[in-house]
Amino acid sequence: MTRRSHKEAGNSSSVGRATSALEEIRAFLSLDPYFGDFGRIADRVRALDQRQSRAHLLKLCDSALRSPDIAKNEPMRVAVARVLFALVPD
C-alpha cells in the first residue's frame, strides 16, 4: 500500500466515524435534527433523564464536528449545531 493510500484509508475511517456519530444522534433523538422542528429537538433532549445520556450526546456531537467532511457539509453541521444548542441548560 502506498503512502497516499494509507492516508486515504485513514480519511475514509474518520468519515465513517463522523457519519456514524451523526446517525447515532438521529437514532438517539428519534428524529433528524436538520429537518426536525427545534422545539421537538429541545423536548427530546430535555426528556433525557440521565446525565450520562446528555454527556453521550455531547460526545457524539463533538465527534461529528471534528470530522472535516462534516465541517464542510452545511446541513450536517447545522444538524449537529441544533443538537448542541438544545443541550444548553435553560
Q: What is the pTM of this model?
A: 0.74
CB-CB neighbours of 77 under 10 Å: 17
Q: What is the pLDDT of residues 27-73, one digit of tens each?
A: 989 999 999 999 999 999 988 877 888 999 999 999 888 888 887 88
Q: Please report which confidence band the pLDDT of residue 20 belongs to, taking 50, 70 and 90 as the band edges.
A: confident
Q: Which pLDDT does position 57 carry in this prediction? A: 93
Please tell me what DSSP assigns to residue 67. Answer: S
Domain boundaries, the chain: 3-87
Residue 89, pLDDT > 70, answer yes
Which of 15, 20, 27 has its CA nearest to residue 53? 27
Report yes or no: 65 and 21 within 8 Å, Cβ to Cβ: no
- Of the listed ranges 12-16, 54-58, 59-63, 76-80, the least confidently predicted one is 12-16
The dihedrals phi and psi of 56, each to the nearest 5 degrees, come to -65, -40
